[in-house]
Amino acid sequence: MKPTPEPRADARKEAVPDALRELVGQPVQAIDTPALVVDLDAMQRNLARMADFAKKHNIRWRPHAKMHKSAAIARLQMQAGAIGVCVQKTAEAEAMVAGGVTDVYISNEVIAPHKLARVAALAHQLAAVRGRLAIAVDSEEGVTRLAQAMNDARTRHGQAAVIDVFVEIDVGQRRCGVPPGGAAVPLALEIRKHAALRFAGLQAYHGRAQHLRTAQERRDAIGIAVDDVVFTRKLIEAQGVPVDLVTGAGTGSLVLEAASGVYGELQAGSFMFMDADYAQNERDPAQPNFEHALFVKTQVISTCATHAVCDAGHKSHAIDSGLPRVHAFDESSALDYFNGGDEHGILRTAASGQRLPALGRYLWLIPGHCDPTVNLHNFMIGVSGGLRSGKVEKIIRVDARGALT
Amino acid sequence: MKPTPEPRADARKEAVPDALRELVGQPVQAIDTPALVVDLDAMQRNLARMADFAKKHNIRWRPHAKMHKSAAIARLQMQAGAIGVCVQKTAEAEAMVAGGVTDVYISNEVIAPHKLARVAALAHQLAAVRGRLAIAVDSEEGVTRLAQAMNDARTRHGQAAVIDVFVEIDVGQRRCGVPPGGAAVPLALEIRKHAALRFAGLQAYHGRAQHLRTAQERRDAIGIAVDDVVFTRKLIEAQGVPVDLVTGAGTGSLVLEAASGVYGELQAGSFMFMDADYAQNERDPAQPNFEHALFVKTQVISTCATHAVCDAGHKSHAIDSGLPRVHAFDESSALDYFNGGDEHGILRTAASGQRLPALGRYLWLIPGHCDPTVNLHNFMIGVSGGLRSGKVEKIIRVDARGALT
């Protein structure tokens, strides 16, 4: 399913401020700080690497849009071969659909009836353009409420639509999902009782495995997840119910799910931008060599004998997975970033004999975690030609910024 | 200076979405999750406590708007007696002025010439309505560049304006500011060379002291800060330069600065909302009894034998100062919140024999740190009559959300 409709005008969308619009075509030096900057060349290379990888392994990919939250980037991913996108929130799904994305999977549980009404409305809206909506469940109540919402929507919309429903099993994340094995069977059977729901398979995402540092630890964790999936699938299929698809995987472990022969769809999202946390992983030899493509441009606003202070703190970048790294264009300028609070970063030299940056100097930070960093910004500034001598190519709206509900 | 002009229409401001507008007048039960909710009654009590405190100590207060980022709340504070507001960023100052606030202090360094041009434009805009802009400096280059920007703006605006300039000294924060003592003198003298700049006094904010847990540790830290200020002031005054005002203090230590006889203005901002981090401080007996007024409403979307999962993760609340606390209406329902990632929270019972919350249940979280939590949300939902049986009174726009530059 290719994304065909152009994004419809949405009055709620924030207009691009003049100062940002006027930046297009300007050299990177003109970018005010702090700002979230995407190296578009690196991003495109990452996209091509992912597309190649998926093709080589003959596996579907559905990147997680909770990371970039941009319908324009989602459409770019689908043009490169992605089947659609994942999201975590109903409001993110709405933002993607409003931006012309027609195949969306809410890889999370939705329980509130008024929110399920929005899910059902979206399913009908997408069905009308031959698109598709999917969702995860992990409780009978979740299934029953979803079916109710779909029935109510059918009455309102005057047409039938079907939503794909995945049963989530907990393969090690210790968050949502039923335990692997027998608990998934009654849910699959319950889904099949409702005409508006289609049992689409298993959601088996192991988020923690992404951040295990050694390749061996990740192999062990995903090995267990694969066993869990195989065991659960067997029990469901023993009831005569086919399990069409197993979906999961993030950037840190995708080579393992892809090689498993069990997963049919990869949800990895971070590969597009990467971050300082993923950079700490020992790389699996099979892993495509994804590059950093997301940066915070910052300026030194204060200096003293011991440190320099830059204008990017944790209102500019998320620190849940660690502080940002200072991007070093050359080794002689290695700096360490220390937490300076909401609006400041403290910079110290990484080795003796090095110099602190001068007042007014611009630096580039590699955020610790891309997803919540993007969510702090209304817009990303897309640069082509590199961070040193490139120019601003486009302004990318973070359509689903703050889309929490 | 009272805020007189009504906020001017600003095309860039995000409109209140229909779903939020329709919420006004509804019971709290109707609030979708996750959502940032302000208990307006508690907030008003906090405001009255602060106004009383400042009156009793005969001290000016200029709450930090980096916390609430709302022009409406800033105007409320000024109606209650605040002299104006502080901000950290030029873009925050612009958002406050656009929202009708006429006395703004950028308590931070600005170095980029194009940003100083915006500062100077704002100073001229405020001068035209008899308002006032102030800024901090900690370098000669900062003073010279600011003076240049003010001169350029005067040429453009065809009228003279003066900006108040505070010299920032580092009294223990180890961030911006010159060391206490002699280094501040040449800066004060340099400021006085420029007709468009007025040397307004010293910026002496000790952010770290706010979060020292015992009252004695905070007394020790602010004692040193006060000594630093007195020493520095004496050196400047020895040059025949009066130091009109010393400004600083946050919610954790304001009783100490107020009692010092040295500080003339309090910058505390968090007292309006409070947070889980401040709640961990041993309370100084002199401290007004500020209440929690900021909450994240969340819903349980998944349950299992060991834990429940709610729909608020660190895209809903900042975790730089620790995880949120679950607000317990009664002791029998004490729950602990564990990190579940960007979009989820993990809830476990705080003691054995207690029950996990049921699927679909709504809970209230007290964020770890109010400032960056507010910055995640476009709107706050103002509730009166309490969180149990109150109703939605108004929607408060976070005007300066993401105002980083």
B162 has a pLDDT exceeding 70: yes
Tell me the pLDDT band of A334, cut-offs 50, 70 and 90.
Answer: confident
- B 335-374: CB under 8 A from A: 339-344, 346, 359-360, 371-372
> Scanning every residue of chain B, which has its alpha carbon at the shortest distance from the alpha carbon of A307?
B175
Establish if A237 touches chain B: CB-CB under 8 angstroms. no
Query: What integer is the mean pLDDT of A63-81?
Result: 98
Residue where the block lists tokens 């931070």: B108
Partners of residue A14 in chain B, C-beta under 8 Å: 12, 14
Predicted local confidence at residue A167, as pLDDT: 98
* Least confident span in A69-78, A321-330, B313-322: A321-330
Predicted local confidence at residue B329, as pLDDT: 72
| B35, containing H or E segment | strand B35-39
Of residues A112, A138, A301, nearest to B299 (C-beta) = A112
What percent of chain A has pLDDT above 70? 96
Contact B299 A14 (CB under 8 A): no
**Chain CA centroid to CA A16, Å:** 23
Tell me the pLDDT band of A315, cut-offs 50, 70 and 90.
Answer: very high
Predicted local confidence at residue B313, as pLDDT: 98
Contact A320 B340 (CB under 8 A): no
Half-sphere exposure of A33 (CA within 13 A, CB side): 26
pTM for the model = 0.95
Q: How many residues does chain A have?
A: 405
Query: What integer is the mean pLDDT of B306-324?
Result: 97
A–B CB contacts, 8 A cutoff, strictly below: 162
Closest to A88 (Cα-Cα) out of A275, A242, A218, A250: A250
- ipTM score of complex: 0.95
Contact B32 A114 (CB under 8 A): yes
Partners of residue B109 in chain A, C-beta under 8 Å: 301-302, 309
B10 has a pLDDT exceeding 90: no
pLDDT tens-digit map of A99-136: 999 999 999 999 999 999 999 999 999 999 999 999 99
More confident residue, A6 or A342: A342
The residue type of B256 is L
Contact B301 A108 (CB under 8 A): yes
Contacts of A14 (CB under 8 A, 6+ apart): A378, A397, B12, B14
Q: Please, what is the average pLDDT of chain A?
A: 94
| B265, containing H or E segment | strand B265-266
Predicted local confidence at residue B9, as pLDDT: 41
What percent of chain A has pLDDT above 90? 92
pLDDT tens-digit map of B264-277: 999 999 999 999 99
Establish if B403 touches chain A: CB-CB under 8 angstroms. no
First to last CA, chain B: 27
Predicted local confidence at residue A350, as pLDDT: 83
CA A90 – CA A112 distance, rounded (Å): 11
Establish if B17 touches chain A: CB-CB under 8 angstroms. yes
A287 has a pLDDT exceeding 50: yes
Contact A175 B302 (CB under 8 A): yes
Predicted local confidence at residue B334, as pLDDT: 86
Establish if A32 touches chain B: CB-CB under 8 angstroms. yes
Torsion angles phi and psi, residue A50, rounded to 5: -70, -45
Q: How many residues does chain B have?
A: 405
Predicted local confidence at residue A329, as pLDDT: 72
A7 has a pLDDT exceeding 50: no
Contact B174 A346 (CB under 8 A): yes
pLDDT tens-digit map of B354-398: 889 999 999 999 999 999 999 999 999 999 999 999 999 999 999
Partners of residue A338 in chain B, C-beta under 8 Å: none
Secondary structure class of A402 (helix, strand, coil): coil
Partners of residue B365 in chain A, C-beta under 8 Å: none
Count CB atoms within 10 A of the CB of residue B95: 28
Predicted local confidence at residue B330, as pLDDT: 63
CA B362 – CA B349 distance, rounded (Å): 15
pLDDT tens-digit map of A153-188: 999 988 899 999 999 999 999 999 999 999 999 999
Query: In Å, what is the CA distance from B316 to each residue of B212, B312, B319, B358?
Result: 26, 6, 10, 21
- Which CATH architecture does the domain made up of B40-273 adopt? Alpha-Beta Barrel (3.20)
